[in-house]
Amino acid sequence: MALKIEKTFEVPEPVEKVWAFLSDPRMVATCVPGAQITAQVDEKTYKGAIKVKVGPSITDYTGEVQIVRLDTENHEIEILGKGQDVRGRGSASMKMTGTLRALDNSGTEVRSVSEIGVVGILAQMGSRVITEVSNIMFGEFTKNFQARLKEPSDDPAAPATGADVKPIKATAVAWQATKGLFRGKSESGS
Amino acid sequence: MAKKQLITVKVNGREREAAVEARLLLVHFIRESLQLTGTHIGCDTSHCGACTVVLNGKTVKSCTMFAVQADGGEILTVEGLASSAGQLHALQEGFKQEHGLQCGFCTPGMLMSSYALLHSNPNPSEEEIRWGISGNLCRCTGYQNIVSAVQHAAAKMAKAGSEANLAEGVAK
Amino acid sequence: MGHSVKRKEDLRFIQGKGNYVDDVNLPGMVYGQVVRSPYAHARINSINTEKAKAVPGVLAVITGEDLAKANLAWMPTLSYDKQMVLATGKVLFQSQEVAFVVAEDRYIAADAAELVEVDYEELPVLVDPNKALDSGAPLVREDREQKNNHIFHWEVGNREATEQVFQSAEVRASVKAFFPRCHPAPLETCGCVADFSRATGRLTVYLTSQAPHAHRTVLALVGGIPENNIRVISPDIGGGFGNKVPVYPGYVCAVVASLTLGVPVKWIETRSENLQSTGFARDYHMMAEIASDRDGRMKALRVKTLADHGAFNATAQPTKFPAGLFSICTGSYEYAQAFCEVDGVYTNKAPGGVAYRCSFRVTEAAYLIERVVDVLALELKMDPAELRLKNFIPEDKFPYKSSLGWTYDSGNYEGAMKLALDRIGYQELRKEQAEKRKKGELMGIGISSFTEIVGAGPSHDFDILGIKMFDSCEIRVHPTGKAMARMGTKSQGQGHETTYAQIVAQELGIPAGDVTIEEGDTDTAPYGLGTYASRSTPTSGAATAVAARKIRDKAKKIAAYLLECNENDLEWEPGKFFVKGAPSKSKTIQDIAFAAYTNFPPGMEPGLEAVDYYDPPNLTFPFGTYICVVDIDQGTGEVKVRRFLAVDDCGNIINPMIVEGQIHGGLTEGLAIAFMQQIDYDESGNVQGGSFMDYLLPTAVETPHWETDKTCTPCPHHPFGAKGVGESPNVGSPAAFVNAVVDALSHLGVKHIDMPITPWKVWKVLQEKGVAA
């Protein structure tokens, strides 16, 4: 199942500060609900994991995140994340392109285009739910991203440990998603 | 061995007691612990209604409940419709007379839903009957004869009711 | 016969005392659960079953590797292909069986199944059958010698002669019609209880089977168990519709587990497993073309089809016909020339194809011809009823040999059509439609005049895995005049316990209530090929009549002996023989039965019974005309079926009530197929329609009121002129629904809409044509 999500949001921080954050997968991972970077393989490749809980069912994906392209001059990054469910029940992949643009108000516009693929049991649950869940996860990511950037510390905060990583509670997310469907709300760019 | 708890349920008029796991579905409790296999399982998403029973006066899909949730309650299954002397319920008669079943798999669920329907609405229109059994799927009959069966039963029960009233009236 | 006798089998069903496979409870019984692949196409690097095996209460975890040691990792399909029982090497479709867990109860089995760890390596997926034969397409089947995705090419008719007619045709009309993949979804899913007894050395399998004897023979061949030591019992079956004809991996795993553990093993699949891995139906990508003259006389038909079979060719087909009876696509019409070709391909989808009351691909054929005839009518600006009447095979031309090789036994297409047009009030409806069009309202009338082809089949052409498609009946009359009869067919709701008894009652005069009918136990029932493709009445029904007549012949001799007269002096009326001219001198069948055991002619074999194995001389050809009236809601695109009239002709009818019930049910399935259902796959091979959340079944609210009527054109070669009818409604109705919707929109330039015709699809068309509300 392939989904394309495009999101643009603003951060009231200067573009270089945002770029330093965005171009470091370890930083980005702290904003993705339920995700963590577990090791660095080489300068472009990291090992990671993400935990998604739907009701009593937890799906643990482990895999790799790779920086496919890093254009420091134009502030563009393309990363590719691929993971397999540890219990062999499926896989997921995401290719994300993030572009920054400095704004007149000394803030930064972040534009991201993500292509998400899901294979397996989760994909059977219906593209409707997957789309809405992805949208909501992205919403959380945006909030976390903005919040992390506001934090005064410029020490690349220690990557979240396993204990800190709260799996996204997709039941709540799914309930939101279903409500969203009825309200006719659609933020999906797919 | 998983922890079990004791539950007591009145089923078709009889008190039944059993030690069950918290996660045991009510439908499995009925079919396996109580050996009442008239209630069937037809899906895994609560759509088909083959597992319909009457719990504390209301129809429930027993596949979407835990047995422990029925503790202290009263259940009526298809096996409890006929009288203890074996006289068939008007609905059972109706299904037979009107050819309201073919493979028979949805029939217990249909009977229980219809039973509850006629209880709350003794004289339903065709549209009300169709809505009343809309939680029960059937692949064989196309529902038309099931509607006739419920109408047949409704008429029979109304007649029996008025005859009983008449008898009472006369007795007075 | 001919009476709407109430059903005997109802008594247990209405009391909840049916005996379905999941109701079977044997001492010491354990439970099996299948572990399934989440990927549509992937290599299996390893399977780790240690954690699963360690769960308390787990008795075994079987993988393909284990089965391979006993040569059971693969099994033959009913189409001479082979299919993996448990995956070895790679998985070929999402939900394919990968491992089998056996545990003390189903909850423990489910817990353990979650703990089986499989290391998969994803492979490129093939879901578009149109790309299956491209040079770069992923190869689904590495096990075959032929390294491509092509299964078969089949053709019939005269390609060149047909081409010639097309060259000189005044008018040509064509349509590309897709019959989507759907699933019969009987309310009871598939399952079994396999019980190997170490005490007796016999294997008993309670099986959701529409063909118990065939399954017994396959189990014997696959499992290497002597056939006399296998007993298949098909108890009450909660609907079949073709879904319970194939042999599924779950059955084989349960048998293996029982043989290994020496205890009964129950395996019952969930609904999701049923929809995602068991025999689906249709998935035919079809193209049809008609060559006609300007006055609407059709001259030739050309058909080309791409058949998506999924990962294994597991269709239940008579051997000679890889596309089943699809060549009935000439339908009810005369074509001087016709040509039909079908190519089957593999894709990364579940296996199957022949199911959902299709009569071996007749649903696809009837849909195609009835659609393309309507397209031609549109092209010629001719009324679709008029075009059909102009081209029907006339009654006096039967038996009729079609240009694709079938000899239709009898038919009166005009009779059914005229009755239908009259009853629906066709002329008034057309007037109403014209008026509504002026006001911008959308109303449609759809006609489908289908021809069925059932009763497979004569031994010279029909076999499944080599076993000829005869069927059987054995009747035994008891001393007190009651009887018992057993057949090789197996009812899944068709009412055999009543209808077969009616046949015996008709032929022997023993009241139907005194005749017990049994089917489904291979230890006692005579060999037969089972119930599907509407074959029971044409084959076992015939066998019942023939066996009864054999008994009557013997009864006559006994009667002559008892009445001290010559056989030739006797006349028969149902239930008794009497002396010609002296009706008071008679013996009832009950008298005769008693005498068969107590006072039979010297030298005669005692008893009163007979068996018949009936090899039908031909198939039978039921037919009908269905008319559907729809109104389209221009705001939502919803199609409301205002009226649906089904006029069916299945020859002589045994029980009109039962026939009518079959029609209601089949029309409801046709409605679902036309408007609501599809098992679709996304580009990664994920099933979209794998549970009732997405695969829709109509409830009593969506289902309209069905009107039925009949004509009767007896079958000339059947012992009592019957034809069979169970699948006619599925065969005839999809075209009626689709033709009605297209008819409602044809004045806007719409020629065809593919099924399922959802409100969304219709709404898009309305938007496009500028008529949405």
The residue among B58, B80, B102 that closes a domain is: B80
Q: What value does the mean pLDDT take over residues B1-11?
A: 92
Q: What CATH number should be reported for the domain holding residue B41?
A: 3.10.20.30
A127–C682: do the CB atoms touch at under 8 Å? yes
C493–B142: do the CB atoms touch at under 8 Å? no
Q: Where are the beta strands (DSSP E) in C455-514?
A: 463-464, 467-468, 471-477, 483-487
**Which one of C23, C187, C665 has the shortest CB-CB distance to B142?**
C665
Task: Work out the number of other CB atoms within 10 angstroms of the CB of residue B114.
Answer: 29
Side chain identity at residue B129, one-letter code: I
My answer on whether B40 and B112 are in the same domain is no
Phi, psi of C712 (to 5 degrees): -135, 110
B103–C185: do the CB atoms touch at under 8 Å? no
Q: What value does the mean pLDDT take over residues A105-134?
A: 82
Residue C280 bridge partners (DSSP): C352
Residue C58 bridge partners (DSSP): C103
B45–C664: do the CB atoms touch at under 8 Å? no
Nearest residue in B to C15, CA atom:
B79
Residue A182 neighbours by CB under 8 Å, 6+ apart: none
pLDDT at position C181 is: 97
Q: Cα separation of B54 and B119, whole Å?
A: 11
**Which one of C38, C116, C117 has the shortest CB-CB distance to A119?**
C38
- Please report which confidence band the pLDDT of residue A136 belongs to, taking 50, 70 and 90 as the band edges: confident
Q: Is C96 on the interface with A (CB under 8 A)?
A: no
My answer on whether B166 and B108 are in the same domain is yes
Interface chains of chain A (3 or more CB pairs under 8 Å) = C
| Interface contacts A/C by beta carbons within 8 Å | 55
Reduced DSSP (H G I as helix, E B as strand, rest coil) percent helix, strand, coil of chain C, to 5 = 30, 25, 40
Q: What CATH number should be reported for the domain holding residue B132?
A: 1.10.150.120
pLDDT tens readout for residues A93-112: 889 899 999 998 889 999 98
B131–C13: do the CB atoms touch at under 8 Å? no
Q: Where are the beta strands (DSSP E) in C168-279?
A: 171-182, 191-196, 203-207, 230-233, 265-268
Nearest residue in A to C680, CA atom:
A124
Contact C243, C278 (CB under 8 A): yes
Phi, psi of C48 (to 5 degrees): -110, 110
Q: Cα separation of C647 and C422, whole Å?
A: 11
Whole-number Cα distances in Å, C453 to C104, C363, C514, C568: 47, 10, 33, 40
Q: What value does the mean pLDDT take over residues C706-728?
A: 97
**Which one of C38, C691, C693 has the shortest CB-CB distance to A88?**
C38
B38–C272: do the CB atoms touch at under 8 Å? no
Q: Mean pLDDT over all residues of chain C?
A: 97
Task: Work out the number of other CB atoms within 10 angstroms of the CB of residue A139.
Answer: 16
Residue A49 neighbours by CB under 8 Å, 6+ apart: A35, A36, A38, A60, A61, A62, A63, A83
Nearest-CA distance A71 → chain C (Å):
31
My answer on whether B49 and B21 are in the same domain is yes
Task: Work out the number of other CB atoms within 10 angstroms of the CB of residue B48.
Answer: 28
Q: Is C692 on the interface with B (CB under 8 A)?
A: yes
Q: Which residue out of A124, A127, A178 would a mutagenesis test of the C interface target, given it has the greatest number of C Cβ atoms within 10 Å?
A: A124
Contact A90, A124 (CB under 8 A): no
> Which residues in chain A are contacts of C276 at CB distance < 8 A?
124
Nearest residue in B to C700, CA atom:
B130
Side chain identity at residue B19, one-letter code: A
CATH, range C280-403+414-455+618-768: 3.30.365.10
Q: Where are the beta strands (DSSP E) in C158-271?
A: 171-182, 191-196, 203-207, 230-233, 265-268
A119–C694: do the CB atoms touch at under 8 Å? no
- Please report which confidence band the pLDDT of residue B168 belongs to, taking 50, 70 and 90 as the band edges: low
Q: Cα separation of C758 and C639, whole Å?
A: 8
CATH, range A2-156+163-183: 3.30.530.20
Locate all alpha helices (DSSP H) within A37-126, ordered by sequence. Answer: 121-124
- Please report which confidence band the pLDDT of residue A160 belongs to, taking 50, 70 and 90 as the band edges: very low
My answer on whether B107 and B36 are in the same domain is no
Q: Cα separation of C282 and C769, whole Å?
A: 31
C239–B44: do the CB atoms touch at under 8 Å? no
Q: What value does the mean pLDDT take over residues C379-398?
A: 97
Q: Is C23 on the interface with A (CB under 8 A)?
A: no
pLDDT tens readout for residues C503-517: 999 999 999 999 999
Q: Is C44 on the interface with A (CB under 8 A)?
A: no
Contact B30, B65 (CB under 8 A): no
Classify residue C348 as exposed, middle or buried by CB count within 10 Å of its CB (0-12, 13-18, 19+).
Answer: buried
Locate all alpha helices (DSSP H) within C392-494, ordered by sequence. Answer: 413-424, 426-438
Q: What are the extents of the domains in chain C?
A: 10-123+189-237+244-277, 280-403+414-455+618-768, 469-614
Q: Cα separation of C216 and B147, whole Å?
A: 40
- Please report which confidence band the pLDDT of residue A127 belongs to, taking 50, 70 and 90 as the band edges: low
My answer on whether B73 and B129 are in the same domain is no
When comparing pLDDT for A168 and A57, which is higher?
Answer: A57
The backbone region for C538, taken as left when phi is positive above 0, alpha when psi lies in -120 to 50, beta otherwise, is alpha
Phi, psi of C90 (to 5 degrees): -150, 165
Q: What value does the mean pLDDT take over residues A156-163?
A: 42
pLDDT at position A118 is: 85
Same fold, C280-403+414-455+618-768 and C469-614: yes
**Which one of A2, A88, A91 has the shortest CB-CB distance to C117?**
A88
Whole-number Cα distances in Å, A58 to A36, C116, C609: 16, 15, 64
Angle at C123 between CA C118 and CA C125, to 5 degrees: 120
**pLDDT reading at A186 higher than 50:** no
Give how many domains chain B has, as a whole number. 2
- Percent of chain C predicted with pLDDT > 70: 100
**Which one of C114, C276, C685 has the shortest CB-CB distance to A87?**
C114
Contact C182, C282 (CB under 8 A): yes
> Which residues in chain A are contacts of C684 at CB distance < 8 A?
1-2, 117-119, 123
Q: Domain containing B28: what range?
A: 4-80
Q: Cα separation of C595 and C222, whole Å?
A: 47
Q: Is C693 on the interface with B (CB under 8 A)?
A: yes
Q: Cα separation of C44 and C98, whole Å?
A: 9
Residue B10 lies in a domain: yes
| Tokens encoding C472 | 């059987």
| Interface contacts B/C by beta carbons within 8 Å | 183
> Which residues in chain C are contacts of B78 at CB distance < 8 A?
14-16
When comparing pLDDT for C648 and A103, which is higher?
Answer: C648
**pLDDT reading at C163 higher than 60:** yes
CATH, range C10-123+189-237+244-277: 3.90.1170.50
Contact C562, C592 (CB under 8 A): yes
Catalytic sites of C, residue numbers: 210, 357-358, 727
Nearest residue in B to C12, CA atom:
B104
**pLDDT reading at C711 higher than 90:** yes
A88–C120: do the CB atoms touch at under 8 Å? yes
**pLDDT reading at C246 higher than 60:** yes
B142–C494: do the CB atoms touch at under 8 Å? no
C661–B145: do the CB atoms touch at under 8 Å? yes
Q: Cα separation of B147 and B127, whole Å?
A: 9
Q: What are the extents of the domains in chain A?
A: 2-156+163-183
Q: Among the listed ranges A164-178, C229-243, C601-615, which one has the minimum average pLDDT value? A: A164-178
Nearest residue in C to A88, CA atom:
C118
> Which residues in chain C are contacts of B37 at CB distance < 8 A?
16, 20, 22-23, 25
Contact C81, C149 (CB under 8 A): no
Residue A64 bridge partners (DSSP): A47, A82
| Tokens encoding C7 | 């059903």
My answer on whether B126 and B95 are in the same domain is yes
Torsion of CA C588, C593, C599, C603, to 10 degrees: 110
Nearest residue in C to B135, CA atom:
C699
Reduced DSSP (H G I as helix, E B as strand, rest coil) percent helix, strand, coil of chain B, to 5 = 45, 15, 40
C687–A124: do the CB atoms touch at under 8 Å? yes
Angle at C474 between CA C472 and CA C479, to 5 degrees: 170
> Which residues in chain C are contacts of A120 at CB distance < 8 A?
38-39, 94, 686
The closest alpha carbon to C357, from C219, C120, C535, belongs to: C535
Phi, psi of C475 (to 5 degrees): -120, 135
**pLDDT reading at C167 higher than 90:** yes
> Which residues in chain B are contacts of C25 at CB distance < 8 A?
32, 35, 37
Residue keyed to tokens 């007691």: B17
The residue among B53, B80, B107 that closes a domain is: B80
The residue among B80, B104, B137 that closes a domain is: B80
> Which residues in chain A are contacts of C694 at CB distance < 8 A?
126
Contact C84, C248 (CB under 8 A): no
Contact C445, C429 (CB under 8 A): yes
Contact C276, C350 (CB under 8 A): yes
Q: Among the listed ranges A180-189, C483-492, C572-581, C627-636, which one has the minimum average pLDDT value? A: A180-189
Phi, psi of C301 (to 5 degrees): -135, 135
Contact C170, C293 (CB under 8 A): yes
> Which residues in chain A are contacts of C118 at CB distance < 8 A?
88
Whole-number Cα distances in Å, C593 to C99, C506, C508, C509, C551: 56, 16, 11, 12, 10
From the candidate CATH numbers 1.10.3720.10, 2.60.120.1440, 3.30.365.10, 3.40.50.300, the one assigned to the domain spanning C469-614: 3.30.365.10
pLDDT tens readout for residues C173-192: 999 999 999 999 999 999 99
Locate all alpha helices (DSSP H) within chain B, ordered by sequence. Answer: 26-28, 90-97, 107-120, 126-132, 144-171
The closest alpha carbon to C42, from C120, C126, C96, belongs to: C120
Q: Which residue out of C46, C117, C682 would a mutagenesis test of the A interface target, given it has the greatest number of A Cβ atoms within 10 Å?
A: C682
Nearest residue in C to B95, CA atom:
C14
pLDDT at position A164 is: 40
Three-state secondary structure call for residue C102: strand
pLDDT tens readout for residues C47-75: 999 999 999 999 999 999 999 999 999 99
Residue C231 bridge partners (DSSP): C204
Q: Cα separation of A16 and C743, whole Å?
A: 64
Residue C119 bridge partners (DSSP): C46
